[in-house]
Amino acid sequence: MDLQIPLSRLKGVGPSFAKRLEKLGLMTALDLIYHFPFRYDDYSKIIRISEAPIDQEVTIKGQVWNIQNSSSRYGKTLTRAILNDGSGSVELVWFNQAWLIKNILSGDTLHVSGKVDRRQNKLTMVSPTWEKIIENSIGLHTGRLVPVYPETFGVNSKWLRDKINSLLPLVLGSLVDPLPLEYKEAMFSLGKALQTIHFPRSFTEINLAKTRLGFDELLEIQLSTQKRRADWKQKQSAKGFKINESDLTTFTSSLPFELTHGQKTVLAEIIEDLQKPQAMNRLIQGEVGSGKTVVAAIAIYLSFRNHLRSLLMAPTEILAMQHYSSLKKLLEPLGMSVGLYTGSSKFNKQKSGVISQELLVKQEDSPNDSEARDPQPASTAKRGELIANSYPNVIVGTHALLSEKLLKENVGLVVIDEQQRFGVKQRTILRQQNNNLKNLAPHFLTMTATPIPRTVALTIYGDLDVSVIGELPKGRKPIKTHYVPSHKRLDAYAFMTKKIAGGDQVYLVTPLIEESETLVSAKAAKAEFEKLQAQIFPQFRLGLLHGKLRPKEKEEVITRFKAGKIDLLVSTSVVEVGVDVPNATIMVIEGAERFGLAQLHQLRGRIGRGGKESFCLLFTEQEDPFVIQRLKNLENSSDGLKLSEIDLKIRGSGQLFGTKQAGRWDLKIASLSDVPLIEKTKSVAKEMLKASPELDKYPYYKGKLAGQSGVMPD
């Protein structure tokens, strides 16, 4: 059987179901087999009717003695059947399913799963799941561990179970287990694992299946990151920087503070990398406010002192503008010119004019230092002094930087902020386009505020060297965080009113909506803004910030908020990173349950920057104790890493970066908290790459890495 056969051509699926399955991301026969249950209902214990406990989920096997329809008082059709298993009888009742009497006949053997109730000394089961059993066969929907799948409109778990069950033998017949024999050890074969994940006989079996399938997932990641790391080390030659102690002193003595111990350590690691004739590929991980930007600015300064230009890429325009203004403050006094490029020409044209047509870079007055104006020695300037002269020494921008020739201009260092949002692809483009410094690559420095547990970092960032800034600058006050249930909402508004009246400013973040749905979230934010302005805070000045605003408008809103001309800023989660307003002391997050804990922690990192006491209020309409308990973790902990680990345990790795798509890797089965499996796959990948550096010995994996399956990035 062709495993890639489109589902529409599969017997029993057809075009209309194929359309629905597309919503679940399922296109081919193999996709359907890799659509895994997210839980199992335990209907495995078949209970004798005489021993059936009341009000608990049970499965009963018996014979139908009688089945008939009747009408209830309210015009519904009632179908009643008597099921007997020799030990006793139970009455089964269904509503409005008159057709059942055509499917279930007297004399049939049935499995029924549901809760048993006792009414007037009679045992009944209302709307049980049922399944006809033929002679000693095992049921699919009852009498076993029953898989429950992610569903979509018109496709329920029962349907999926049936289809997967009939498809499995065909697929398993043509599936080759790609894992080399020597690494299989005691693990399930791929076929057995796939069979078992759908139709297990016990929870022990489920775990064994998960181990095998998780192994496969992690192995692919390990192979991919390790291979990329090896390729990088081999191919990416760079210009090693000459680093003078005096340059470092110049920079650090210009700062109004001393670097933290963490910043110093990370800086030392970066400096060591930069001196090598091999491109640095390092990730700085540090909480919001830990001072990553300053460290990056030092690297940028060192690049400048080596007559090279730098680029800083941020995921959003707002962030790019923030970085632009911080870098200006840090670097212009040291004789560097700083430019902004966001790719939205409206924004750039004001104040530009200096730069050639193809490069609309916003540039402030150039400093006087002649070396700063032309970091490129005249002898190597091929495209003409004039253009080279007009590039700023460091250009800050969004991904729009990628599409420009900026990349070709003597770039020695590329800094990427919040890199997981860019995805691996863009970074690859960046690397390729940069190979112009006599075919030398620039050094790469990426930064992330997402707290990543070490095991996770070593896996998903296995191709990068990771540095951690593990502390915040001294003197930061902890942020008081409160979960606010709906009935306390008005109290919270009263509290905000008092604070604003006292001169404080407030961020209010509207619920997280899928990143792709900018329009929807913009609308929601606007509605919230209008409601608050009209009904709750008519006396205050409210502002609105969302992804659909034009860059100019965004800049205006932020500038007004910074200047204290907006009291309360309603915003989508775009403020998550970047904006720095010390006078803002309250962070309100609506629909807090939709965010990951690490993300919430990042959001509240926006406040607590000045000397005043700061508060984070987590609003949720949900009353589920699990949801509340989860949010309460934020009341008790200010350790981002710990929070992300809790998240990892409760919500799985897919949620670590907020929305799944934003993550670098999509894991279906494996848990990034499964350290032994991570270690195991790491060493297997290492061995495989040692035995066959280009993976020629393992064509299946070579193909996977080449991106044929669509599972792997790059």
Q: What minimum distance in Å lies between the beta carbon of 464 and Mg ion?
A: 18
Report 292-321 residues binding Mg ion (CB under 5 A). 293
Q: In which residue are the tokens 């870098």 written? A: 327
The least CB distance from residue 297 to ligand ADP, in Å, is 8
Residue among 425, 422, 401, 421 at smallest CA distance from 411: 401
Phi, psi of 475 (to 5 degrees): 90, 0
- Least spacing, CB of residue 293 vs Mg ion, in Å: 5
Which one, 293 or 655, has the nearer CB to Mg ion?
A: 293
Place of tokens 């309100």: 588
Partner whose binding site includes residue 413, from ligand ADP, Mg ion, none (CB under 5 to 8 Å by kind): none
Work out what residue 290 binds among ligand ADP, Mg ion, none; the CB cut-off runs from 5 to 8 Å by kind.
ligand ADP
**Choice between 268 and 494, CB closer to ligand ADP:** 268
| Partner that binds at residue 442, options ligand ADP, Mg ion, none, CB closer than 5 to 8 Å by kind | none
Among residues 128 and 315, whose Cβ is nearest to ligand ADP?
315
| Pick 128 or 291: Cβ nearer Mg ion | 291
Q: Pick from Mg ion, ligand ADP, none: which does 430 bind, CB < 5 to 8 A by kind?
A: none
In angstroms, how far is CA 428 from the centroid of its own chain?
A: 20
Shortest-Cβ-distance residue relative to Mg ion: 293
Instruction: Quote the least distance from Cβ 362 to ligand ADP, whole Å.
Output: 21
- CA 82 – CA 91 distance, rounded (Å): 5
Name which of 129 and 260 has its Cβ closer to ligand ADP. Answer: 260
Name which of 449 and 589 has its Cβ closer to ligand ADP.
449
CB of 323 to ligand ADP, least distance (A): 9
Round to whole Å and give the CA distance between 78 and 98. 7
Choose from Mg ion, ligand ADP, none: what does 500 bind? Cβ within 5-8 Å by kind.
Answer: none
395 binds, among Mg ion, ligand ADP, none (CB under 5 to 8 A by kind): none
Q: Residue 121 corresponds to which tokens in the numbers above?
A: 């000394």
How far CA 338 is from CA of 73, 150, 328, in Å, comes to 79, 49, 6
Q: Which two tokens stand for residue 559?
A: 């500038």
Instruction: Pick what 423 binds: ligand ADP, Mg ion, none; C-beta below 5 to 8 Å, kind-dependent.
Output: none
* Binding residues for ligand ADP (CB under 6 A): 257, 259-260, 263, 286, 288-294, 449, 473, 580
Tell me the closest approach of the beta carbon of residue 56 to ligand ADP, in angstroms.
52
With respect to ligand ADP, which residue has the nearer C-beta, 489 or 612? 612
CA-based R_g, the chain, Å: 30
In angstroms, give the least distance from the CB of 470 to ligand ADP.
Answer: 12
CA distance 658 to 654: 8
Query: What CA–CA distance (Å, rounded) separates 174 from 112?
Result: 35
Question: What's the closest the beta carbon of residue 252 comes to ligand ADP, in angstroms?
Answer: 10
Q: How far is CA 636 from CA 23, 122, 401, 480, in A?
A: 39, 51, 41, 9
Please give the structure tokens belonging to residue 325.
């203004």
- CB closer to ligand ADP, 255 vs 501: 255
Cβ within 8 Å of residue 147, ≥6 positions away: 37, 40, 157, 161, 197, 198, 199, 200
Q: Which helix (H) or strand (E) holds 555?
A: helix 551-562
In the list Mg ion, ligand ADP, none, the entry touching 289 (Cβ below 5 to 8 angstroms by class) is ligand ADP
Which whole-number Å values give the CA distances from 638 to 117, 265, 597, 641, 651, in the listed order? 48, 22, 11, 9, 19
Give the count of residues interacting with Mg ion (CB under 5 A).
1
Contact 432, 411 (CB under 8 A): no
Other Cβ atoms less than 10 A from the Cβ of 699: the count is: 11
Question: Which residue, 63 or 325, is less far from ligand ADP as judged by CB?
Answer: 325
The residue of the chain with the least Cβ separation from ligand ADP equals 291
Q: Which is nearer to ligand ADP, 641 or 669 (CB)?
A: 641
Which entry of ligand ADP, Mg ion, none binds 446, CB below 5 to 8 A by partner kind?
A: none
β partners of residue 78: 70, 95
- Taking CB under 5 A as the rule, which mask of x and - marks residues 266-295 in contact with Mg ion? ---------------------------x--
Smallest gap from residue 407 Cβ to Mg ion (A): 23
Q: What is the 3-state secondary structure (H, E, C) of 202-218?
A: CHHHHHHHHHHHHHHHH
- The residue among 488, 486, 506 whose CA lies nearest residue 496 is 506
Q: How far is the CB of 448 from Mg ion (least distance, A)?
A: 10
| Distance of closest approach, residue 549 Cβ to ligand ADP, in angstroms | 23
Q: Which of Mg ion, ligand ADP, none does residue 291 bind (CB under 5 to 8 Å by kind)?
A: ligand ADP
How far out from the chain centre does Cα 390 lie?
39
Cα gap 184→215, rounded to integer Å? 10
> Which residues lie across from 117 on neighbouring strands?
124
What residues line the site for Mg ion (CB under 5 A)?
Answer: 293
